[in-house]
Structure 1
Amino acid sequence: MARNEEKAQSMLNRFITMKEEEKKKPKERRPFLASECRDLAEADKWRQQIMREIGRKVAEIQNEGLGEHRLRDLNDEINKLIREKTHWERRIVELGGPNYTRHSAKMTDLDGNIVDVPNPGGRGPGYRYFGAAKKLPGVRELFEKPPELRKRRTRYDIYKRIDASYYGYRDDEDGILEKLEGPAEEKMRAAAVADWMEMEEIKKEARRAVKSGEVAEVGLMSKILFEEEEDVVEEERKEREREEKEKEFVAHVPLPDEKEIEKMVLEKKKQELLSNDRGITKDSRSMIILDCN
């Protein structure tokens, strides 16, 4: 009995489902061409339908265990839907709707970096890879950047970057050095002026004491450097330099004069001739010696 009730219940369920499907409107089919649509609301509806299909297929393509062929087919289907979505978005703009292409998603590599979509044909969006399709053989190489070769800089490149700032000629342009040197310069100038005024006062006191015949203080006299004393020291130094220059070299061994040197050279030539020309006769030797004399 229980089995017959279950069968009846099953038949009832199928009957109810059939009646509900009869009440529904026939399922509309998306137009093959976007240009056939004349209503903006319908165009937006078909675009939303394509977006849902793309979302389902993108979620499915994340599974790496589907196999290479299934992954490639899914990736082709997604790219086909993306091209169709682009047509509908263009049609929506023609019907006066919003422009959805401004905020389209960018293509990323395995690390999440945005990359340019390859588009050799120059028509519409390029071919994209999604999910596990990025790891397929032959596809991974498209996303890998070649290692950058560090080019060695030449001497020309090095000197090309050297300007006035390298030598410190523009250090005063920023104003920092001027702010630091300004107070220091004022302090040094004030100290120099104070020292000069003090020395002038000391010299005046010393001259006044000399004229009046009084004895000047030892502390004041120790600070004074009279010009007469400076001139005397300078003259003594120049005199010593002059005396050192005027000192002549004294030879402790007698040196030969020019005549003695010529005679020695002549004797040496005679000896060389006599030693080299052994085959020459005695008369010829005497003639050579006479010629040398």
Structure 2
Amino acid sequence: MARNEEKAQSMLNRFIALKAEEKKKPKERRPFLASECRDLAEADKWRQQIMREIGRKVAEIQNEGLGEHRLRDLNDEINKLIREKSHWERRIIELGGPNYAKHAPKMTDLEGNIVDVPNPSGRGPGYRYFGAAKKLPGVRELFEKPPELRKRRTRYDIYKRIDASYYGYRDEEDGVLARVEGLAEAKMRAEAEEEWRRVEEIRREARRGAKEVVSVGAAAREVLFEEEEDVVEEERREREEKERKDKEREFVMHVPLPDEKEIERMVVERKKMELLSKYASEGLLEEQSEAKDMLNIHR
């Protein structure tokens, strides 16, 4: 049995394939401008062709391992095809066809939320990102929502919400507060009465105890007075003994002490002798001492 390759290379099969190609129409090329198309069916066919190309490229761009440059190129090609598709859709409307742009899918972020089409610089309006291109550096920030800034309330806004209820003027209108306060008041009143009875009982016990103490007070005062007298007498004896010992320790002087004038005279005499010994000769000092002895001067 012949193989498939041999069958394909046979003369008959090649002849049949050649005839089939001759019967086929030449492959048409999509017009460069949508305005050149005059047939609605042709315009719809070219739109479907563009949709298939977009689908293939969108499936390819889902692969994150293609690299940054390839992902950016694919994203550019998809956006180019989308712009071309929009041209054909407008041409279809001009030719009396349906409005496909009305039901076009919306763009979503990484979480699947519908977002507005970002417009980065240099890309023109309506530039979109697909698949892994949404995670490229500088693109992720386009889909991030800016943090909500809480507006600080002014003093006017704060006081605008304040009414009589804020100050408690309407607390008793519903009657709930009166019921709650009534129960609390009854409880506090019962506790106060119980405390008053307890204090009165203590006072009565104290009065009865005071009467019993009065009868014993006289004898107790006599005993206390006698003990106090003994303590005073003992303190007096200790004080006298201390004074007697202090008198015995007094210093008795047996040698007369010089007074201030005598001390001053002795100091002057010593200074005088020091000056004489410093400036006078020994012979002069001896003569002076002999003269004092002869005159009987003892100074």
CA distance in 1, matches of 2:115, 2:84: 22
Deviations 1:76-132 (A, max 9, x none): 0110011001111111111111111111111111011111113479x9951000000
Match of 2:9 in 1: 11
Name the CA shift for 1:18/1:137 in 2 (closer, same or farther; >3 Å). farther
Q: What TM-score, normalized by structure 2, do the two folds share?
A: 0.49
- Hey, what's the Cα distance between the residues in 1 that align with 2:39 and 2:30? 13
Alignment-derived partner of residue 50 in structure 1 = 50
Q: How many pairs were matched up?
A: 170
Q: Secondary structure at the match of 1:106?
A: coil
Go from structure 1 to structure 2 and tell me whether the alpha carbon gap of 1:73 and 1:165 turns closer, same or farther (over 3 Å shift).
farther
The letter for the 2-side match of 1:133 is A
User: Is 1:35–2:59 an aligned residue pair?
Assistant: no
Q: What is the rounded CA distance, in whole Å, between the counterparts of 2:35 and 2:51 in structure 1?
A: 19
Q: CA deviation at 1:8?
A: 2.4
**Separation in structure 1 between the aligned mates of residue 82 and residue 164 of structure 2, nearest angstrom:** 56
| Bigger radius of gyration | 2
Alignment CA distance shift 1:157-1:76 (3 Å): same
Q: Following the alignment from structure 1 to structure 2, what is the Cα–Cα distance between the partners of residues 133 and 145?
A: 18
Letter in 1 for 2:40: L
Q: Is the contact between residue 109 and residue 143 of structure 1 (CA under 8 Å) also seen in structure 2?
A: yes
What are the superposed Cα offsets for residues 18-67 of structure 1, whole Å, 9 maximum, x if unpaired? 54333321111111001111111111111111111111111111111111
* Alpha-carbon spacing, 1:28–1:144, altered in 2? closer, same or farther (3 Å): same
CA, structure 1 residues 114+164, in 2 after alignment: closer, same or farther (shift >3 Å)? farther
Distance 1:18 1:131, change over 3 A: farther
1:128 aligned residue = 128
* Contact kept in structure 2, 1:120 and 1:126, CA below 8 Å: no
Q: Report percent identity of matched pairs.
A: 86
Aligned partner letter, 2:37: C
Matches within 5 A, 1:162-201: 162=162
For residues 26 and 168 of structure 1, what CA distance do their matches in structure 2 show? 91
1:93 counterpart letter in structure 2: I
State the distance in 1 between where 2:90 and 2:36 align: 13
Structure-2 change in CA distance of 1:119 and 1:141 (3 Å): closer
> Does the CA-based 8 Å contact 2:40-2:95 persist in structure 1?
yes
Residue identity opposite 2:98 in structure 1: P
Distance 1:106 1:125, change over 3 A: farther
| More displaced 10-residue stretch of structure 1: 143-152 or 95-104 | 143-152
Matched residue type, 1:87: H
Equivalent-residue separation in structure 2 for 1:66 and 1:107 (angstroms)? 22
Mapped contact 1:93–1:99 kept (Cα < 8 A): yes
Q: 1:259 is matched with which residue?
A: none
| 1:40–1:10 CA distance, 2 compared to 1 (3 A) | closer
For 1:1-293, list aligned pairs within 5 A. 8-12=6-10, 17-119=17-119, 126-162=126-162
Provide structure 2 residue ranges, at least 5 long, that are not aligned to the other structure.
176-299
Q: Distance in 2 between matches of 1:137 and 1:10?
A: 52
CA distance 1:153–1:39, change in 2 (3 Å): same
**Mapped partners of 2:110, 2:89: distance in 1:** 28
Q: Post-superposition shift, 1:148? A: 2.1
Q: Deviations over 1:147-195 (max 9, x none)?
A: 22333323222223457998999xxxxxxx9xx99xxxxxxxxxxxxxx
